């Protein structure tokens, strides 16, 4: 561990998983497969303390997320608390009940921005993916309410085999709904998405077509709509800098108050997470073992250690390295330099060309999900 350590910059964002409860059952949900239940959730005062500490630590954006964050009855007071602490609040919502009913109170409380998920542009397709009839119609009504209140709207669509043909239609829908930004985010395979990978993995030619559609729309819609594109890892040459690098920009707080460098970090069994019950957020950011484990470049082995991209992608995603290479400290197999890259690419190809298995829908009881 001789690598030079620059002084630790304050975090930019806090992802507050206020609850894992959600009326939808998306098969790619980024929540862990072992969902936390309501009785273990932090209470209002604890979240308020966390937000105060976040502001003192230098956090700028708080992402009020879940599950469905509006499933918490105290979502408006929590939003107001963040606003008073000077934090920029972003609501990451499915838009289904009770989100619509609570929206005006959130706007009054000073909410800065809304990010609404869509499963597809076609209602039947969207409802099949979300695992709930009528969800899409509710989302459209919610989007209209957001813009009517004068709140800025971003739409987020996770792209996979079941909706990859809908990318152009999603772009058109985003314009129609008055969104300022659209995130076309190819599925990231951890949590539920890993369990459903064979049903989600798109074909390479469909991926190329969807990327071309985004690029054409960006030119056509410059000044109207910003489109952010997250390309699928398994088809890339280099991995993404997961969360902007481990312990560099973001903190994730789970419903029960454990603090993680990324929302999938609990899949790495050797990590020890500190809780907001026992430590301040600043202490956790600076000294907790889970944040220290893969921070910077000191933990790296070859080929990352001597690679000139090591401070661009920080070796990729630790959770993906564990899931695909069996070792959280390995090079992310999304990278062409990983020994596991070819095997993983072949796996993606095989899954994408096989018949699509049924979804294993998200649920609190793993056995009933199929």
Partner 1 sequence: MTFADTDVPHLPAGVRLKSDAVRGTVMLLAPERAFTLNPVAVKVLGLVDGERSVGAIVAALAQEFNAPPEAIAADVIELLDELARKRVVER
- 123-130 vs 135-148: helix crossing angle, rounded to 10: 100
Joined tokens for residue 90: 């972003």
Chain residues 100-139 in contact with ligand SF4, contact rule CB under 6 A = 117
Site for partner 1 in 297-316 (CB under 8 A): none
The reply to whether 22 sits in an annotated binding site is yes
- Shortest CA distance to 201 belongs to which of 184, 189, 183? 189
Out of 76, 167, 304, 344, the only residue in the binding site for ligand SF4 (CB under 6 A) is 304
User: Which of 10, 104, 289, 326 is the binder for partner 1 (CB under 8 A)?
Assistant: 10
Other CB atoms within 10 Å distance of the CB of residue 39: 6
- Is residue 364 a contact point for partner 1 (CB under 8 A)? no
Position 22 contacts ligand SF4 (CB under 6 A):
yes
- Asked if 88 is part of the footprint of partner 1 (rule: CB under 8 A), the reply reads yes
Pick the binder of ligand SF4 from 70, 163, 320, 331 (CB under 6 A). Answer: 331
φ, ψ dihedrals at 90, nearest 5°: -125, 120
State the DSSP string of 65-107.
Answer: ESS-GGGSTTHHHHHHHHHHTT-EEEEEE---TTHHHHHHHHH
Nearer to partner 1, 92 or 330 (CB): 92
Contacts with partner 1, 194-233, as mask; x by CB under 8 A: -----------------------------x--x-x-----
SS3 277: coil
Site for partner 1 in 123-182 (CB under 8 A): 150-152, 154, 180-181
**304 is annotated as contributing to ligand binding:** no
For ligand SF4, the binding residues in 230-259 under the rule CB under 6 A are 238-239
Per the listing, tokens 């098969």 go with: 27
DSSP assignment, residue 191? T
Distance CA 20, CA 69 (A): 8
CB of 180 closer than 8 Å to CB of 226: yes
Q: Is 319 annotated as a binding residue?
A: no
Q: Which is nearer to ligand SF4, 61 or 362 (CB)?
A: 362
Dump strand ranges (E) for 122-222: 153-159, 181-186
Q: Which is nearer to partner 1, 77 or 152 (CB)?
A: 152
Rounded Cα–Cα distance for residues 213 and 221 (Å): 12
Residues 171-190 that bind ligand SF4 (CB under 6 A): none
Q: How far is CA 251 from the centre of its chain?
A: 12
Pick from 262, 255, 258: nearest CA to 19: 255
Contacts (CB under 6 A) with ligand SF4, residues 69-98: 94
Residues that bind ligand SF4 (CB under 6 A): 22, 24-26, 29, 31, 66-68, 94, 117, 238-239, 303-304, 307, 309-310, 313, 315-316, 331-332, 335, 337, 362
Residues that bind partner 1 (CB under 8 A): 10, 12, 56-58, 60-61, 86, 88, 90, 112-113, 115, 150-152, 154, 180-181, 223, 226, 228
């Amino acid at each position: 561990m001789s690598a030079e350590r620059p002084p630790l910059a304050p975090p930019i964002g806090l992802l507050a998983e206020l609850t894992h409860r959600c009326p939808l059952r998306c098969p790619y949900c980024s929540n862990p497969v072992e969902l936390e239940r309501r009785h273990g959730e932090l209470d209002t005062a604890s979240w308020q303390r966390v937000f105060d500490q976040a502001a003192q630590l230098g956090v700028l954006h708080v992402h009020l997320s879940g599950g469905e964050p509006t499933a918490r009855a105290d979502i408006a007071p929590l939003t107001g608390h963040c606003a008073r602490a000077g934090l920029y609040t972003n609501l990451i919502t499915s838009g289904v009940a009770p989100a619509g009913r609570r929206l005006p109170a959130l706007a009054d409380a000073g909410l800065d921005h809304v990010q609404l998920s869509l499963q597809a542009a076609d209602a039947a397709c969207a409802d099949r993916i979300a695992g709930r009839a009528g969800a899409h119609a509710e989302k459209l009504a919610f989007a209209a309410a957001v813009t009517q209140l004068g709140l800025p709207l971003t739409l987020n669509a996770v792209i996979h085999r079941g909706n990859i043909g809908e990318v152009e239609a999603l772009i058109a829908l985003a314009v129609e709904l008055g969104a300022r930004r659209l995130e076309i985010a190819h599925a990231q395979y951890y949590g539920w998405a890993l369990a459903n990978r064979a049903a989600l993995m798109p074909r390479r030619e469909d991926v190329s077509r969807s990327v071309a559609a985004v690029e054409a729309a960006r030119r056509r819609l410059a000044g109207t709509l910003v489109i952010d594109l997250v390309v699928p890892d398994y088809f890339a040459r280099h991995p993404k800098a997961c969360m902007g690098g481990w312990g560099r920009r973001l903190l994730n707080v789970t419903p029960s108050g454990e603090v993680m460098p990324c929302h999938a970090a609990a899949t790495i069994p050797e990590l020890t997470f500190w809780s907001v019950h026992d430590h301040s957020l600043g202490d956790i950011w600076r000294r907790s073992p889970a944040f220290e484990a893969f921070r910077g470049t000191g933990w790296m082995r070859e080929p990352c250690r001597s690679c000139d991209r090591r401070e661009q992608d920080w070796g990729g995603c630790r959770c993906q390295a564990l899931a695909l290479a069996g070792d959280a400290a390995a090079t992310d197999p999304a990278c062409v330099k990983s020994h596991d890259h070819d095997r993983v690419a072949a796996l993606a190809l095989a899954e994408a060309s096989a018949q699509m298995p049924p979804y294993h829908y998200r649920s609190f009881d793993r056995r009933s999900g199929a």
